[in-house]
Structure 1
């Protein structure tokens, strides 16, 4: 029986460009060739019948989607490691193949225990890959806390910083408000431990942000959401965190592209200012995939699925999104009008690069075999993770030695 899969008749996202008539070879959990019938490995598979050949009929193959900011899905939050598989399976079914599990603010001990439990859990079948934990708190500002419970918000202590640094193989990303006491020292220690440090849920100005950038801060958590903007100090206008992040030539940044959090004009500003350093994230909560009117908890905050987004019950405020990354791809391309190749790059190669994973988010030899198949409306019709199809596999074309039939 063939142990190799060869996808033919496909358009493919390669180096942020959609290229037609490409073939993609997968062996075990890796992509081993991307090209045409002239490639020796591909030609051998075509002529010897050593592969399951799947003719995609012109459909688009993209790397699997990489979500660096998501709290859960389908009624399951990452705060509960024993049910995390429910969220990861739902996200995989939506074409999200790699996930940074985001934890909302809670007592420090609880957040660290949850991080360890998420890392220790056994991956189930048909789940998205967990590539680390993102602590979105508790080191954030009360005045920009959003849906985070203010009672848990703290400034980083030396002990907190050290304990997180010791978990650097698990905690891969931290959001911090740069104006907090101890933020610069924390940023330096975590950056040295190879943790991605991001500015967010903050009213910081240049005097706070720039020292943190010098200490290694490199990312901005969901532009405009939980961020202070410019204000006046006497007659002088002072840029807020939003403007400082947009003006930076160092920071990468993320937007929640669910059609609710940010209108097209703000998305376009981010695109023009940040350029290829801009990614999309879902900030999806356990309300993702649940019907309108469903109530859910975001840590200790009660939220509801309302008008296609999460809202805090009793407040006129958002509580994360309820939209998966594939839906955001469609929104940016179909409704906002951005080129599909650019939009997909924002959800594949760019986020993978931000967290230093050159084996994710790309269709290239040596990369992990995580990919999705999209139809003409950008609906996900097939998902492969680690070389295995999640759900029904496309039909393979029967082959005989010497011909591709």
Structure 2
């Protein structure tokens, strides 16, 4: 039986270049079948009246740990599904599930659970693969990552992990650690993106890392070095390197808390929308009430407190993860960082799709691409989320 055509009309369509008023999008078999500027009759079509609201490509989150009370480190298929189903309500149509620093056994189990959850995920944001965050980090820049597991890259270990699964699409590490350059080269040989993260590297070390495959900076400004002094001499750090290397992509936690308005504006001014991906870096407290929570596994994770729209360590000495949702990222970039809407949407769709090498099927509203779409109003409230042409959220 042929799937019915879905017709979305009276929409302000957001393309990577402009907003098209009164656009009509036709969806068939989960794909975008046509984009029209003049109305036509489609017999037996399912109609969605956008009522003048914005029609956007689905939001793609490259770095997310949890939400709705669940975390990918819980080691349960149900937790994976809960995270995907929670964030689809806020416009996220695809995500890269992210782990935390742990031992090898936990990483291998997370990969196994991911593969099962990927097959069962029918009601949430699609999984684009797994992002391993750690354990090859700088102890000094560990943030809320568990210090018990931080170590140098071990070729026997990471080769076993990579060869155990095809799900790994990116891996964050500190490039100054012993063996990290060889590690980056190995990841690139297996089509995995190495990313600079939780690092005390200086500029020269980042340049070498970039030349060996580290083309992305994980949550820029968070847990990374800036200008330092050694024996009276100043050295540029990771932040300066990310700015100076034009071809390096960066991701930012655009929740308005991790980075205040001046830093959001600075990153946008220097890197531009083609090199910035907006991420939530959300933990299990996203879309949950404030109060006590856990970063990482519910069994042995880190106790944290959610307040002031962010997760903090109990002593409030440091942030311990974001509780943002994708709509909040968009709202912050437009209203706080004063970025044009088209470019803010680009940083949440087209650019992350390009970084993750899925631009052929996601990231923009184009004929032949997956019908991953979001309808939102002028206040960035999500009214519809469609994944592969299926309405998974409708605001009531």
Shorter-chain TM-score above 0.5 = yes
Contiguous gaps of at least 5 residues in structure 1: 38-42, 395-405
Q: How does 1:176-191 map to 2 (within 5 A)?
A: 176-191=173-188
Paired residue for 1:201?
Answer: 198
Extract structure 1 runs of 4+ deviating beyond 6 A: none
Matched, 1:68 2:62: yes
Structure 1 residues 155-208: Cα deviation after superposition (integer angstroms, max 9, x where no partner): 111112312332562011100100100001000010111101100100001332
Contiguous gaps of at least 5 residues in structure 2: none
Q: How does the TM-score come out when normalised to structure 2? A: 0.94
**What is the alpha-carbon distance in structure 2 between the residues aligned to residue 285 and residue 332 of structure 1?**
20
**What is the alpha-carbon distance in structure 1 between the residues aligned to residue 182 and residue 58 of structure 2?**
36
What number of residue pairs does the alignment pair up?
387
Paired residue for 1:36?
Answer: 37
**What is the alpha-carbon distance in structure 2 between the residues aligned to residue 393 and residue 335 of structure 1?**
25
Moved more, 286-295 or 117-126: 117-126
**What is the alpha-carbon distance in structure 1 between the residues aligned to residue 282 and residue 164 of structure 2?**
24
Paired residue for 1:138?
Answer: 135
Structure 1 residues 111-156: Cα deviation after superposition (integer angstroms, max 9, x where no partner): 1221121122232442110111111111111100001011101111
Q: How far is 1:301 from its partner?
A: 1.5
Q: How far is 1:48 from its partner?
A: 4.9
Give the secondary structure class of the aligned counterpart of 1:291.
coil
Q: How does 1:88-99 map to 2 (within 5 A)?
A: 88-99=84-95
For the 8 Å contact 2:371–2:386, the answer to whether it is kept is yes
**What is the alpha-carbon distance in structure 2 between the residues aligned to residue 118 and residue 168 of structure 1?**
10
C-alpha RMSD of matched pairs (Å): 1.7
For the 8 Å contact 2:3–2:28, the answer to whether it is kept is no
Give the secondary structure class of the aligned counterpart of 1:262.
coil
Q: How does 1:293-308 map to 2 (within 5 A)?
A: 293-299=291-297, 300-308=301-309
**What is the alpha-carbon distance in structure 1 between the residues aligned to residue 263 and residue 295 of structure 2?**
29
Structure 1 residues 197-237: Cα deviation after superposition (integer angstroms, max 9, x where no partner): 10010000133222221111110001110001101234432
Give the secondary structure class of the aligned counterpart of 2:320.
strand
Give the secondary structure class of the aligned counterpart of 1:79.
helix
Q: How does 1:83-232 map to 2 (within 5 A)?
A: 83-121=79-117, 122-167=119-164, 169-232=166-229
**What is the alpha-carbon distance in structure 1 between the residues aligned to residue 104 and residue 319 of structure 2?**
24
Q: How does 1:324-363 map to 2 (within 5 A)?
A: 324-358=325-359, 359-363=361-365
Paired residue for 1:9?
Answer: 10
**What is the alpha-carbon distance in structure 1 between the residues aligned to residue 287 and residue 122 of structure 2?**
20
Paired residue for 2:278?
Answer: 280
Matched, 1:257 2:254: yes
